[in-house]
Amino acid sequence: MAFLYLLVLLSKGKPSEPFELTARSALPMGAGLGSSAALSTSLALVFLLHFSHLSPTTTGRESTIPTADTEVIDKWAFLAEKVIHGNPSGIDNAVSTRGGAVAFKRKIEGKQEGGMEAIKSFTSIRFLITDSRIGRDTRSLVAGVNARLIQEPEVIVPLLEAIQQIADEAIRCLKDSEMERAVMIDRLQNLVSENHAHLAALGVSHPSLEEIIRIGADKPFELRTKLTGAGGGGCAVTLVPDDFSTETLQALMETLVQSSFAPYIARVGGSGVGFLSSTKADPEDGENRLKDGLVGTEIDELDRWALKTGRWSFA
């Protein structure tokens, strides 16, 4: 539906030849990792370029998507996210569009101003993301919390306020250049546990997520984990301290796999949305070769394959 929504609106009044679109993703779907936002952002950029709403400059050795164009892409990606989720926060499409890490606050009339803020130091922290392999419906989970908010405001409002306070404290820790690294990591670990406890109290955890948390907390690992995304399944994220050995991390991943979960080490703080601005392929058969490469490349090699195809422009 989001695909059709963007296609109809962005193609209106624009001449176009028939085209074929192939999409592949290394992100698990329905797991709380923003796969819908990644797709929405990609579709927004594709259609904005294809129907000539944007014409980014690609001259120079290092080409980037201008900030003004990035804002346009993000706006359309957010509209697609609304079609998919109903009332999304906007942070997933913001990160998919801009890259890096973003602190987000939803605007609440009379209580707080909304907005997004880039966090520069976030890339230096390791995380382990574990897919529970349990799908969930973000729209239904959010609707469930909203229903409880109406029925039990005296219970839900304090939980939501506590969650916001935890997020604010995490942002302060990440931005504090004078805080000792060990102190920051220790504080973040405590915040991870506190955050999950409040989310579980909201009713958005799941037995599979609790099992992932238990495995990570057991000896010899003793790590802190929380659900991510809407909960109800999907993924859990584990904070990995700097001094946590590679061997022990591998042992944790093997333990999770034995329990039928899918763990992988996160790479954070990368580039935002991008497009292939010039290709190394022969113009006569370049399109077919690119398509064959896209379809034939293994999922975990897609990023490496893409960067070898030519010069990319990123937000």
Q: Taking the C-alpha atoms of 272, 278, 280 and 283 in order, what is their torsion angle to the nearest 10 degrees?
A: 140
Q: 299 — phi, psi (to 5°)?
A: -55, -45
Task: Please check whether residue 191 is in contact with residue 169, taking contact to mean a CB–CB distance below 8 angstroms.
Answer: yes
Rounded to an integer, what distance in angstroms lies between the CA atom of residue 224 and that of residue 243?
Answer: 14
- Residue 45 has a pLDDT of 97
Instruction: Indicate where the chain has its CATH 3.30.70.890 domain(s).
Output: 123-265
Residue 57's identity, in one-letter code, is T
Q: Which two tokens stand for residue 224?
A: 């802190």
Question: Running along the chain, 315 residues long, what does each successive block of 10 average in pLDDT?
Answer: 95 87 85 86 96 76 81 97 90 90 76 77 81 85 90 94 93 88 95 97 95 98 93 93 95 98 83 85 70 90 88 89
- Beta pairing partners, 131: 235, 262
Rounded to an integer, what distance in angstroms lies between the CA atom of residue 222 and that of residue 181?
Answer: 19
* CATH number of this structure's domain 2-13+25-98+273-314, picked from the four choices 3.40.50.11540, 3.30.230.10, 3.40.50.150, 3.40.630.30: 3.30.230.10
Among 31, 203, 201, 221, which Cα is nearest to 131's?
31
List all residues 6 or more positions away from 49 whose beta carbon is below 8 Å from its beta carbon. 55, 56, 275
Q: 297 — phi, psi (to 5°)?
A: -80, 140
List all residues 6 or more positions away from 110 whose beta carbon is below 8 Å from its beta carbon. none
Instruction: Indicate where the chain has its CATH 3.30.230.10 domain(s).
Output: 2-13+25-98+273-314
The domain defined by 123-265 folds into: Alpha-Beta Plaits (3.30.70)
Residue 198's CB: how many other CB atoms inside 10 A? 19
Q: Tell me whether residue 279 is exposed, middle or buried, using C-beta atoms within 10 angstroms of its C-beta: 0 to 12, 13 to 18, 19 or more.
A: middle
Among 82, 80, 56, 50, which Cα is nearest to 68's?
56
Omega prior to 88 cis, within 30 of 0: no
Among 126, 153, 262, 145, which Cα is nearest to 205's?
145
DSSP-derived 3-state class of residue 226: strand
What is the set of active-site residues? 36, 92
